Structure formats: structure tokens, C-alpha cells
Structure 1
Amino acid sequence: MKQNQKKAWLFLAPILILVTVFSIWPIIRAFIMSFKGGPIINMQYNGLANYQYIFSDPDFWHAIANTAIYAFVTVPVALIISIALAWFVFSKIKHKTFFETMFFMPYVTSTIAIGIVFRYILNGKYGLLDYLLRAIHLPAPDWLDDPSMSIISLIMFGVWASLAFNIVILMGALRNIDPNYYVLADMYGASEMEKFWRITLPQLVPTITFLLTVNLIGAFKIYTQVYALFNGAAGQANSAMTAVFYIYNKFQVVNTPGVAMAATVVLFFIILLATFIQRKITKKVNS
């Protein structure tokens, strides 16, 4: 009601201040800095020079291409596997809580720690994965030191890291489906696959849409996984360079904050566009 609006704004004020200071202002500040050059303590206006630099920089486009490949492969693959595993646990396993806890543990584990484990698994000389591949007489590539395998290794790591959050959210969504739907389906002799395609999947669409959006945004901002998997580098010959790693390199290593902020602004609009297109497509599919 109108008389309660002042009280509502009063209660919202603390969180609005925090969002403004830590979310909105940094975006505005990055946009302003993208038009400046020089060291961060003495930046001077230089117009569109930073944008001209990144658009003519092959490393920037390489980073954007790697990020796009990672995002558009990792997100759908991880989501498909998550749906399959969540449905299997929900429909076939009795002790669901135990498995939910096991699935969620990687989500609360440090990405750096998981990256160290993956470095041992994917090591070309003594890694577990190559040992198993050799045991069944399959090619055993050098996952980490071969530039052509860097993105594939990163995608494998990203898919595994995405499963925990996805499965827990999907399990919660599966619990909210009215069991009467399945009772009626059983009465009419529906098979397990028919129940999944005609009942379960349509009921999961809002959750899947949410996960697609969150995972896509997260995939475009990937940095920690690269740092952890390749021990602080971006793979051999920068073969696993991503957009955020490029931004970090320009800001922290090369000390060109203006260029880094220009790349940040471009990445922001790419994420905005990709999310908008994804939501439009999802909405059309849902309808």
C-alpha cells in the first residue's frame, strides 16, 4: 500500500546501498576507465584508443573464441548430464539425501584444490586418465601440455565442476513435481521414458531455464578453473586464454588498466547479448 512505501524503501536501503557500491558503481567506473590510458594512479583520457587496441589484438579475439567454445559446449553438456543423473537418483535410488550430499560436496570444495587433483589426473606422464586409456589400448594425449588439448581439458574440468550445483537444484525441482501426475501415468500404462518426456521434463523447464542462464553467465566469466588447471598460466602458448584471464593479464601483469577495462566492457555486452538470445530462444521453445 502507498502508506507503506516509505517503510519499504527504508528496509531496502541497506541492500540497495551495498548493490550500488559493490555492483553498479564498479560497472560505471570500468566504463569510465575504458576511455583512459596510463598507470592506474595517473590515468588520462585517450578516447577510443583502448577499444581500437583490443579490437585489433589477436590475443583478445583468441580469448573470446576460447570463452565462447567453452561456454557453448560446457553448459549444455553439463546440463544434460545433470538432468540424467538427477532423474536417475530421484527415480531409482532410495537414499537420495546421501547422494545429494555427495554431489554437493564438490560445489563447496575449493576450485584450486579440485584443479590440483585434475592436474594429477590429466598429467601426460603419470596421470590416471592416460593410464586407463593406455590400459585399453587407446591414444593417451598430453592433456595439459599439448596446446590443441587445452580447451578440451578445460571443458572436461568445467563439466565436472558444474554438475554439483545443477544436480542439487534439479533434485529440489523434481521433489516439487506433483506425484499424482505419475500415479495417473501409471494407471494408463506409461513407460518410464514416456513419463520423463511428457511429465518430468516439461515440469523442469523453469529450473532448466534458470540453470542455463546462471551457467552461461558463469561460463563466460571463467577464470579460476583456468588458473587452477594450468597452475597459474593460461595453458601452453596461452592456448587456454579466456576473456577474464585476458583482462587479468592486461590489468595486473602488463599494467594497462584502461585496456583491461575496455575488454571488461566488451565482455559485459557479450554476456548481456548471449543471455538475451538464450532467454529468447528458451521462451520460444517453452511456448
Structure 2
Amino acid sequence: MKRFHKYSAENQPKAWLYLMPAMIIVTMFTIYPLFRSFWLSFQKGSLLRLSFTGLDNYKTVLTDPVFHTAMKNTSIYAFIVVPIALIISLVISWLIFEKIKHKNFFETTFFIPYVTSTLAIGIVFRYLFNGDYGIINHLLSFFGIPGVNWLNSTSTSVTTLIIFGVWSGLAFNIIILLAGLRNINPEYYKVADMFGATKWEQFKKITMPQLIPTVTFLLTVNFIGAFKVYSQVYALFGGTAGVANSASTAVFYIYDKFHVAGRPGIAMAATVILFVVILIFTFIQNKLIKKVEN
């Protein structure tokens, strides 16, 4: 009697053949660099003359005060920028969705910063935050507030970076939240109107529960991106990490050790540490979000 086997797409030779180009690219540009970075973290010297040094690079990184400052700045940036940017984005996207008629125009306007070069935007913000002729200090003067040295002070460099980070993070959040709002069944709101529910009650009982998957996605992506912040620092402070490295972040520390100091082993050790931190934080965050959802 002829036997029939259950069809399985992943066991078809043609499927693996079609997947092979993508698998090769992922292996070359994602998997191999991960293993290469891990191997380099145990080496010392230049890239052309490497020698095994064990855990010395990790000891150097973990006892480096500059790395401690970079990780502290990165944590402050992540835990302030991500919630604030998400809340502002939620408010703006809700107003666009509910109150504004020409939604396409405003969606395009808010999406422009996302497709614009961070370096180009950084140049504009350097002008805005300039202590001598910047527009922000000029506006503060109307309220009798003295000018702030936004870019050239150790006490304000992280604050300036946070402001820039919040602004640059709005565009992506707004577009994704608007997509999430469109996916909510409008019948829910019609029924709520029939029973006399206010807009706030509809937002609390209908909109937010329906947006939880979207907000969860944005929290995960934004936190990972915040821990990897680099372009904003480079653009805002003209290729440096602020005065006395006061705005240094983990990725900027890695860049400085690899390209400026020429110590790839130290840079890769810091990379592995940052990778582990992001991995642990993402795992804990997903666990907490699942508990909230349940």
C-alpha cells in the first residue's frame, strides 16, 4: 500500500535552494561578524598583528572610567528618551487620527525627518543649540531666561543629546502608531458612542488595549536603538563626544577605541559587553510586557 508523507515546506530541497542567497548574505554580514567580534575581544595589538590576551580586554573595559561614563550616559538616554518620545508620539498620532482632516499631508511632514540624514539634522541642531547665536537661547531671552551653553558644557551635553534624541525618534513612532490606529475596528467606537462613552473613555478602554502590540514593538525597537545611539552624538557634537567626553555613549566608546585609539580588542570587548546588556534588558522587558498584557 502506498504511503503518503505529510507535506513540509522546510524539508523541500527547492525551498533551501531559494533561501540559499539570503542565508549566505545573513551569514556573511550578520552571523560571521558576531563570531569575529567575539574572537577579537580576546586579542590584543593591531588588526594585522594580533595575539591572544585572554580576559585582559574585558578587565580593561570594565575598569575604565570612560566606559562607565559611556554606559551611564547610554542608560540615562535610553530610559528618558524612549518613554518621552513614545508618549509624545502617541499624543500626536492620536490628534492626527482624530482631529485632523488632511492626514496624508501631516503624515508626510512627520515622516520627513526619518528619511533625512542624521548628520544633516545634526548640523541644524548645532545651529539651534549654539550658545552665542542659537535660536533656542534667543527664544529663552524673551522670557528673561539667561542663555544656556548647550554644546560646550559637561553639565548640559547629555540634556542636549536627550532633546535631540526625543525629536529624532518621533517620526518613526508616529508612522507606526498611525498604522496601528487604522487597524482598530471602527465598529468599536460606534458602539461606544451609542452608549455615551467619552473620548477619554474610548481611548482608555478601546484604543490603548488595541495598541498594546504596536507599543510593545516600539518599546523593544526604540530601547535597542537607544542603547546603540551613536549618529546623534557624532552629528550634534561635530565628531566628538562633547567636552571631556561628557556625552560619550557605549557605541561612541567602541568607535573611539577601534578607529581612533587603534585598539580593536578593547573595542570588541566593549561590543560583547554591550550586546549582553541589550540581550538581558530585552529579555526582561519582554517578560514584563507579557505580564502586563496578561
Hey, what does 1:158 align to over in structure 2? 165
Q: Does 1:137 align with 2:154?
A: no
Q: Distance in 1 between matches of 2:49 and 2:263?
A: 12
Hey, what does 1:268 align to over in structure 2? 275
Q: Does 1:199 align with 2:206?
A: yes
Which of the pair is proportionally richer in helix? 1
Hey, what does 2:52 align to over in structure 1? 45
1:202 Cα deviation after fit:
0.6
1:12 Cα deviation after fit:
1.5
Q: What CA deviation, in whole Å up to 9, does each residue of 1:204-239 have, x standing for no partner? A: 000000011111111111111000000000001100
Hey, what does 2:252 align to over in structure 1? 245
Amino acid at match of 1:43: L
Alignment of 1:168-247 (within 5 A): 168-247=175-254
1:101 Cα deviation after fit:
0.3
Hey, what does 2:113 align to over in structure 1? 106
Q: Which runs of 5+ in 2 are unaligned?
A: 1-6
- Give secondary structure in 2 for the equivalent of 1:234: coil
Q: Distance in 1 between matches of 2:95 and 2:130?
A: 32
Percent identity, please: 59
Q: Distance in 1 between matches of 2:182 and 2:147?
A: 42
1:57 Cα deviation after fit:
0.6
1:8 Cα deviation after fit:
1.8
What TM-score do you get using the length of structure 2 for normalisation? Answer: 0.96
Q: What CA deviation, in whole Å up to 9, does each residue of 1:128-166 have, x standing for no partner? A: 111111111124311111111011100100000000010
In the TM superposition, structure 1's runs of 4+ consecutive aligned residues that sit over 4 Å from their partners are none
Q: Distance in 1 between matches of 2:13 and 2:82?
A: 42
Q: Does 1:277 align with 2:284?
A: yes
- Give secondary structure in 2 for the equivalent of 1:147: coil
Q: Out of 65, 68, 72, which is 1:65 matched to?
A: 72
Hey, what does 1:255 align to over in structure 2? 262
- Give secondary structure in 2 for the equivalent of 1:40: coil
What TM-score do you get using the length of structure 1 for normalisation? Answer: 0.98
Q: Distance in 1 between matches of 2:149 and 2:288?
A: 38
Amino acid at match of 2:25: L
Hey, what does 2:134 align to over in structure 1? 127
Q: Does 1:83 align with 2:90?
A: yes
Instruction: Count how many residue pairs are aligned between Structure 1 and Structure 2.
Output: 287
- Give secondary structure in 1 for the equivalent of 2:214: helix
1:5 Cα deviation after fit:
2.5
Q: Does 1:147 align with 2:154?
A: yes
Q: Which runs of 5+ in 1 are unaligned?
A: none
Q: Distance in 2 between matches of 1:202 and 1:8?
A: 38
Q: Distance in 2 between matches of 1:5 and 1:93?
A: 51
